[in-house]
Amino acid sequence: MTLLTTAAIGAGVLAAALLATQLLPREVTVLRSAQVQASPSDVIALLASNEGYQKINPYKSSDPALKITLFGPSSGVGSGFHFDGKDGKGSQTVSAVTDSSVRYDIDMGAMGQPKQIVEVRPSAGGSAVEWRMEADLGRNPIARIFGLFMDGMIGKTLDQGLSNLNTAA
């Protein structure tokens, strides 16, 4: 094979691989749920509070050296914290609070801007809690490949957060 033929085949394979990654899902959702032995209003109050969230923050469980700097009001929309640890650096801000849910906007710079939503419903003996992370991976082929493994990577973190929530609530 000539150098030109080899280069053409290589370019074709690369183009096919890039095209194939665009067929992967752009949006990824990771969801976990659990029963919590606390009322929905108590769970929402804990989740919407800067200090309350730090009692359940799943990243603190896996990274004792995690640096947290609180900002904004102590609770509600606009409250949040900056973080810097082994899993990344960025901020998390409460962007919406209702009687049944809390939404967080996360900014990790070039690593992405996922959303977390925790929904709480009354159930026998407490609350049924669903915690999910949603991410738009855009057109980035590497991010879309990572999206295939997101459930395995983030799911454990959400499970830890729910376990921490059950203990703290």
**8 A C-beta contact, residue 98 and residue 84:** no
**What is the predicted pLDDT for the residue at 142?**
83
Amino acid making up residue 50: N
In angstroms, the Cα distances linking 62 to 59, 132, 158, 166 are 5, 19, 12, 17
3-state helix, strand, coil in the chain (%, to 5): 40, 35, 25
What confidence category does residue 7 fall into, taking pLDDT thresholds of 50, 70 and 90? low
| DSSP secondary structure letter of residue 109 | G
Strands in 75-155 per DSSP E = 80-85, 88-97, 101-107, 115-123, 126-136
Could you read off the pLDDT of 86-97 as tens digits, one per residue? Answer: 988 999 999 999
Whole-model pTM: value is 0.84
Sign of CA dihedral 124, 122, 106, 145: positive
Residue 119 has pLDDT above 80, yes or no: yes
For residues 146-163, average pLDDT: 91
CA 73 to chain centre: 22
Q: Where are the domains of the chain?
A: 25-168
Q: 3-state class of 67 per DSSP?
A: strand
Fold of 25-168: Alpha-D-Glucose-1,6-Bisphosphate; Chain A, domain 4 (3.30.530)
For residues 164 and 38, give the distance between their C-alpha atoms in angstroms, rounded to a whole number. Answer: 13
**CB burial of residue 69 (10 Å; 0-12, 13-18, 19+):** exposed
- Who contacts 30 (Cβ-Cβ below 8 Å, separation ≥6)? 132, 133, 150, 151, 154, 155, 158
Could you read off the pLDDT of 13-40 as tens digits, one per residue? Answer: 555 455 555 667 788 999 999 999 999 9
**8 A C-beta contact, residue 75 and residue 52:** yes
